């Protein structure tokens, strides 16, 4: 039925917004949930039923996230939602959380405090919702609330900020989904369900990508720290063979991670905020690898990053990382040496035209073009 389809979208969003595995509040889903409530005729009724169940979760974090969602809905979903929350049917579910007769003895103080703060702030900010005021005053009479909490009342119902990159910011898809959900044709509802399933798959793929990036960067951080620590105590004439073998293993790990970080960089959009972390990890790997070559192998290393602005340095690093990764496929590649002179970076070295021979990767060709663009810019500055 149409109602079941509405519930499936709303349930999907609230499940994502209150998932106990979330590391932080997922505002893209929270705002998406609010938007969905505002779109649907039965949105407030459906949502409060879902939230009541989540708020009473035995998992502290899930319950707190559900209360954050509830607070956001009160700020963003208007009078229809206020009226639904202001019914005893829902208010009784909140009272159960703080009352020792029901769940009060099993619920954490954080959750109970949040519930009391919300009830108090609504009782002040929404004087027309008599039942909310009555429920709060009853808690005071029963001694469950000893004194009014300190809450910035003037900010309690200020709308929450829109997330920078909401999950469902594809206006065309959202508009199409809203139209399908309002239809009573079975084929339209089937199409809506298909879109929802695709959205779920896309989100799961995105979450998997983010999880992989986080775990890779964490591995880089740990490996770099450990190798740096061992290098700081390394003495070529005194270190044992076992120490040298361990150092070699750590070096190999870092060298392999460069490939993983390179892939992350090429798969990440230039305007993605995560790119800075990826490039920082790449820099850390390059530094510790060069330190190993200098301290353990006795090689002479002289590298600096040209460019006077952060964006130029970022561009150069991606290009340089890409070229290093693919250099085994490049013919006529001559060594580039970067040296700082008079506070300004200088670039020495030549790329022959034959350097493009054997470049089968489109990504590498793009990075090479980016590298040459930056090189020309730097050359003009030196003139």
pLDDT of residue 47: 93
- Whether residue 174 is predicted with pLDDT greater than 90 in this model: the reply is no
3-state secondary structure of 122: helix
Gap between the terminal Cα atoms of the chain: 72
Note the helical H segments in 77-162: 78-85, 88-98, 109-125, 130-141
Determine which helix (DSSP H) or strand (DSSP E) holds 338, and give its type and residue range.
Answer: strand 337-341
Q: Return d(Cα 43, Cα 178) in angstroms, integer.
A: 13
Domain coordinates of the chain in residue numbers? 2-169, 206-300, 302-383
The fold adopted by the segment(s) 2-169 is: 1.25.40
3-state secondary structure of 165: coil
Q: Which residues, including other chains, have CB under 8 Å from residue 321's CB and lie 6 or more apart?
A: 258, 261, 262, 265, 282, 367
3-state secondary structure of 103: coil
Give the tens place of pLDDT for each residue, 314-341: 555 555 444 444 443 333 333 333 333 3
- Whether residue 275 is predicted with pLDDT greater than 50 in this model: the reply is yes
Largest CA distance in the chain: 85
The mean pLDDT of the chain is: 75
Give the tens place of pLDDT for each residue, 229-240: 889 888 888 888
Half-sphere exposure of 188 (CA within 13 A, CB side): 13
Give the tens place of pLDDT for each residue, 340-364: 333 333 333 333 333 333 333 444 4
Give the tens place of pLDDT for each residue, 199-219: 777 777 777 788 788 888 889
Asked if CATH classification 1.20.58.160 holds for the domain at 206-300, the reply, yes or no, is yes
- Whether residue 51 is predicted with pLDDT greater than 90 in this model: the reply is yes
262, 282 in Cβ contact below 8 A? yes
Give the tens place of pLDDT for each residue, 72-126: 999 889 889 999 999 999 999 999 999 988 887 889 999 999 999 999 999 988 8
pLDDT of residue 276: 82
Q: Return d(Cα 46, Cα 48) in angstroms, integer.
A: 6
- Whether residue 169 is predicted with pLDDT greater than 80 in this model: the reply is no
pLDDT of residue 162: 46
When pLDDT is averaged across residues 1-23 and rounded to a whole number, the result is 74
Give the tens place of pLDDT for each residue, 122-168: 998 888 899 999 999 999 999 999 888 876 544 455 454 444 444 44
326 exposed, middle or buried (CB, 10 Å; 0-12, 13-18, 19+)? buried
Q: Which residues, including other chains, have CB under 8 Å from residue 177's CB and lie 6 or more apart?
A: 9, 192, 195, 196
When pLDDT is averaged across residues 51-66 and rounded to a whole number, the result is 94
């Amino acid at each position: 039925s149409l109602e079941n389809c509405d519930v499936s979208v709303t349930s999907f969003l609230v499940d994502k917004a209150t998932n106990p595995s979330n590391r932080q509040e997922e505002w893209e889903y929270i705002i998406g949930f609010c938007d969905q409530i505002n779109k649907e005729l039965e949105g407030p009724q459906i949502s409060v039923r879902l939230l009541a169940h989540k708020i009473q979760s035995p998992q502290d974090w899930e319950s707190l996230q559900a209360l954050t969602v509830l607070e956001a809905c009160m700020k963003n979903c208007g009078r229809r939602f206020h009226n639904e929350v202001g019914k005893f049917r829902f208010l009784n579910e909140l009272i159960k959380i703080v009352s020792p007769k029901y769940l009060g003895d099993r619920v954490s103080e954080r959750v109970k405090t949040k519930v009391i703060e919300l009830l108090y702030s609504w009782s002040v900010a929404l004087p027309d919702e008599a039942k909310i005021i009555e429920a709060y005053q009853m808690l005071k009479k029963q001694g469950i609330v000893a004194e009014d909490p300190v809450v910035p009342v003037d900010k309690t119902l200020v709308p929450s900020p829109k997330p920078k990159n909401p999950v469902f910011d594809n206006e065309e898809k959202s508009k199409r989904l809203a139209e399908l959900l309002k239809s009573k044709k079975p084929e339209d509802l089937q199409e809506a369900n298909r879109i929802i399933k695709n959205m779920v798959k896309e989100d799961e793929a995105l979450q998997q990508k983010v999880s992989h990036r986080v775990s890779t960067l964490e591995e880089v951080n740990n490996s770099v720290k450990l190798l740096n620590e061992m290098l700081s105590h390394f003495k070529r004439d005194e270190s044992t063979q076992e120490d040298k073998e361990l150092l070699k293993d750590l070096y190999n790990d870092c060298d392999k991670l460069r490939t993983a970080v390179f892939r992350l960089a090429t798969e990440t959009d230039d305007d993605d905020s995560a790119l800075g972390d990826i490039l920082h990890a790449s820099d850390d790997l390059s530094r510790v690898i060069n330190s190993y070559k200098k301290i353990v192998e006795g090689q002479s290393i002289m590298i600096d990053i040209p460019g006077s602005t952060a964006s130029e340095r970022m561009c150069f690093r991606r290009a340089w990382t890409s070229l290093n990764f693919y250099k085994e496929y490049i013919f006529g590649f001559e060594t580039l040496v970067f040296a700082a002179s008079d506070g300004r970076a200088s670039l020495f070295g030549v790329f022959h035209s034959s350097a493009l021979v054997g470049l089968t990767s489109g990504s590498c060709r793009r990075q090479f073009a980016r590298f040459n663009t930056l090189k020309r810019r730097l050359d003009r500055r030196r003139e």
